[in-house]
Homo-oligomer: A and B are copies of this chain.
Amino acid sequence: MNKKFDIIGIGNAIVDILARTDDDFLATENLIKGSMSLIDEQRAQHIYKVMRSTKIVSGGSAANTIVGATMLGARTGFIGKVRDDELGHIFVHDLNSIGVHYQTPLAQQGSATACCYVLVTPDGERTMNTYLGASQNLTEDDIDVNLISQTSIVYLEGYLWDPPQAKKAFLKAADCIHTQDGQVAFTLSDQFCVDRYRDEFCNLLKDQKIDILFANEHELKSLFATENINIALSEIQSLVSLAAITCSAEGSIIVTRETIEQCPVFPINELIDTTGAGDLFAAGFLTGLTKDMDLRDCARLGSIAAAEIIQHIGARPERDLKSMAQENGLLNL
Q: Which A residues lie at the B interface, using CB under 8 A?
A: 19-20, 48-49, 51-58, 67, 86, 90, 93-95, 97-98, 122, 269-270, 272-273, 312-314, 316, 318-320
- A29 CB to closest chain B CB (Å) equals 14
Additional 20 contacts, C-beta under 8 A, given A55-B318, A56-B57, A122-B320: A20-B318, A20-B320, A48-B93, A52-B97, A53-B67, A53-B94, A53-B95, A53-B97, A53-B316, A54-B58, A54-B94, A55-B55, A55-B56, A55-B314, A55-B316, A86-B86, A269-B269, A272-B312, A272-B319, A312-B318
Which residues of the partner chain B approach A93 to less than 8 Å between Cβ atoms? 48-49, 53-54
Q: What are the 3 closest A-B residue pairs judged by CB atoms, nearest first?
A: A56-B56, A53-B94, A269-B269
22 examples of A-B residue contacts, CB within 8 angstroms: A20-B320, A48-B93, A51-B97, A53-B58, A53-B67, A53-B93, A53-B94, A53-B95, A53-B316, A54-B90, A54-B94, A54-B97, A55-B57, A55-B314, A56-B56, A56-B57, A56-B90, A122-B320, A269-B270, A272-B312, A312-B318, A313-B318
Q: Quick one: which of A53, A57, A58, A86 has the most chain B CB within 10 A?
A: A53
- A274 CB to closest chain B CB (Å) equals 14
- A272 CB to closest chain B CB (Å) equals 6
Which residues of the partner chain B approach A90 to less than 8 Å between Cβ atoms? 54, 56
Q: Quick one: which of A67, A122, A313 has the most chain B CB within 10 A?
A: A313
Q: Which residue of B lies closest to A67 (CB)?
A: B53
Which residues of the partner chain B approach A19 to less than 8 Å between Cβ atoms? 97
CA distance A122 to B269 in the complex (A): 19
Which residues of the partner chain B approach A94 to less than 8 Å between Cβ atoms? 53-54
Cβ-defined partner of A272 (8 Å) among B53, B58, B95, B318:
B318
Q: Which residue of B lies closest to A51 (CB)?
A: B97
CA distance A53 to B318 in the complex (A): 10
Q: Which residue of B lies closest to A98 (CB)?
A: B53
- A15 CB to closest chain B CB (Å) equals 9
